[in-house]
């Protein structure tokens, strides 16, 4: 009968390993999910940053066009003023005021263009894009590494499941069924007797039960927690 407990302990050890492997696979998949979510957030952040950059570039183009338009108007005004077509003092005064307005607008726009160029250049779009790509590549490599770990774990798990199937062949069906039911409640359905105590629930066993366990002639369950008890 002691051999049955050896088989049960072997099965229990396998089940512990299998359970741990399954948990690790779940954890690895959760890590992958978190990294994928992180990648999505980074891509969204980059997309928003790129949109902001494009917006600033469009604003720069608008200011440059506006400056060009003012420069053309100023040039035409200068040509008109110095062409000799303006005869009266009143008309000359009006043209000078117009040119002064253009000059002022031109100066303001030049400042705006310079400031906008600084703003666009300070965004370092090429450098930021490179950083973004490297960050995504690093995260994707992490995912690939985790997937490789999972594949290895699944292979080891499949091997241990085969070992488990083989291990169950050495255990009578009735005892195996009892073990499987207890395993739903406890990670250790099979425990060694510790003195006269059950090592599972740590409660004392009746002396009659303890004696029967020591004889190692039958399958005994703890009257308290119902684990299977054996004695070495």
DSSP string, 95-153: HHHHHHHHHHHHHHHHHHHHHHHHHHHHT-HHHHHHHHHHHHHHHHHHHHHHHHHHHHH
Domain co-membership, 90 together with 120: yes
For residue 85, the model assigns a pLDDT of: 65
Query: Position of tokens 């690939």?
Result: 144
In degrees, to the nearest 5, what angle opens at C-alpha 83 toward C-alphas 78 and 89? 85
Domain co-membership, 44 together with 156: yes
Q: pLDDT digit string (tens) for 11-51?
A: 999 999 999 999 999 999 999 999 999 999 999 999 999 99
- Of 143, 171, 199, the domain-final residue: 171
User: Taking residues 51-67, what's their average pLDDT?
Assistant: 97
Q: What's the mean pLDDT when you consider all of the chain?
A: 93
Domain co-membership, 165 together with 186: no
Decide if 3 is inside a domain.
no
3-state secondary structure of 187: coil
Task: Give me the phi and psi of 111, to 5 degrees please.
Answer: -65, -45
Domain co-membership, 74 together with 165: yes
For residue 84, the model assigns a pLDDT of: 63
Decide if 32 is inside a domain.
yes
Domain co-membership, 107 together with 130: yes
User: Taking residues 172-186, what's their average pLDDT?
Assistant: 96
Domain harbouring 93, CATH code: 1.10.287.1490
Decide if 125 is inside a domain.
yes
Number of folded domains in the chain? 2
**Structural domain boundaries, residue 206:** 176-230
Domain co-membership, 111 together with 182: no
User: Taking residues 172-188, what's their average pLDDT?
Assistant: 95
Which of 225, 219, 222 lies closest to 206, judged by CA? Answer: 222
Torsion angle of C-alpha atoms 172, 175, 177, 178, degrees rounded to 10: 180
Q: pLDDT digit string (tens) for 190-201?
A: 999 999 999 999
pLDDT band at 93 (very low <50, low <70, confident <90, very high): confident
Provide, rounded to the nearest whole percent, the portion of the chain with pLDDT above 70. 93
Decide if 4 is inside a domain.
no
Q: What is Dmax (Cα atoms) for the chain?
A: 133
């Amino acid at each position: 009968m002691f051999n049955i407990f050896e088989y049960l302990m072997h099965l229990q050890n396998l089940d512990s390993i299998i359970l741990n492997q399954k948990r690790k696979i779940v954890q690895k998949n959760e890590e992958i999910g978190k990294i994928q979510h992180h990648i999505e957030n980074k891509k969204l952040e980059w997309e928003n940053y790129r949109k902001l950059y494009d917006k600033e570039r469009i604003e720069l183009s608008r200011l440059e066009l506006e400056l060009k338009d003012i420069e053309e108007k100023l040039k035409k005004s200068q040509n008109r003023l110095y062409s000799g077509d303006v005869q009266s003092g009143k008309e000359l005064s009006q043209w000078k005021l117009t040119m002064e307005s253009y000059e002022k607008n031109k100066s303001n726009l030049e400042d705006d263009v310079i400031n906008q160029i600084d703003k666009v250049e300070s965004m370092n779009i090429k450098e930021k894009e490179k950083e973004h790509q490297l960050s995504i590549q690093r995260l994707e490599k992490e995912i690939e590494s985790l997937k490789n770990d999972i594949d290895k774990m699944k292979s080891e798990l499949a091997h241990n499941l085969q070992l488990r199937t083989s291990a169950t062949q050495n255990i009578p069906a009735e005892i195996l069924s009892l073990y499987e039911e207890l395993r739903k409640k406890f990670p250790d359905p099979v425990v060694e007797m510790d003195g006269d105590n059950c090592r599972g629930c740590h409660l004392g066993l009746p002396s009659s039960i303890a004696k029967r366990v020591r004889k190692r002639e039958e399958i005994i369950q703890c009257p308290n927690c119902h684990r299977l008890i054996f004695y070495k």
